[in-house]
């Protein structure tokens, strides 16, 4: 977080302020604040096991179990075929730009640096454009279960097809 000093020209008063990052979605009527947090504790569970590859093909029905990554008891990730982002089908029937996937927070970085990362909602990463996340190292926090795991998106379909793929760590 950067701090800036502002001086009013006709005054000797100085103000210290912090710039908050904002994302904007061209289809949305409002901007989305990129509120970050890091709640990592030594009691958290960190998954460093084998890599699992999950793929949801274009047009596949997100309500079918085979098209959901059931990461834990509380987080089942999938994506609708309407071109929106991923969502937690255990908690919601479709994506919500400001909260999806519910029960998760995301950070750019590696699991080795988890204690120092800042976590955001999914949409706040990389200007709200999931296609920009392809090939980048991410850490996913399953909030209710306090689990951290590595994720790297390998594909993201455009034009309302609903396909996506990633690799992630396991317990």
SS3 (DSSP) at 138: strand
Query: Closest Cα to residue 142, out of 93, 76, 82, 89?
Result: 76
CA distance 95 to 90: 12
Predicted pLDDT at 99: 87
| Residue spans per domain, the chain | 35-169
* pTM of the full structure: 0.78
Predicted pLDDT at 36: 64
Predicted pLDDT at 128: 79
Predicted pLDDT at 12: 52
Predicted pLDDT at 127: 78
Low pLDDT (below 50) residues in the chain: 1-11, 15-33
Predicted pLDDT at 40: 85
Predicted pLDDT at 41: 86
């Amino acid at each position: 977080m950067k701090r800036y000093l502002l001086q009013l020209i006709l005054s000797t008063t100085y103000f210290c302020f912090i710039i908050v990052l904002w994302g904007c979605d061209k289809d949305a009527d409002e901007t989305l604040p990129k509120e970050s947090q890091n709640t990592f504790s030594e009691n958290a569970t960190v998954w460093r096991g084998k890599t699992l590859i999950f793929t949801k093909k274009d047009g596949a029905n997100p309500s079918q179990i085979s098209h959901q990554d059931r990461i834990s008891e509380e987080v089942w990730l999938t994506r609708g075929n309407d071109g929106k982002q991923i969502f937690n089908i255990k908690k919601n029937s479709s994506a919500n730009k400001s909260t999806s996937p519910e029960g998760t927070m995301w950070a750019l970085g590696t699991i080795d640096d988890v204690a120092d990362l800042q976590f955001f909602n999914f949409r706040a990463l990389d200007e709200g454009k999931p296609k920009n996340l392809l090939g980048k190292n991410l850490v996913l926090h399953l909030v209710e279960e306090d689990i951290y795991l590595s994720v790297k998106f390998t594909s993201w379909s455009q034009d309302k097809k609903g396909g996506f793929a990633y690799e992630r760590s396991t317990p």
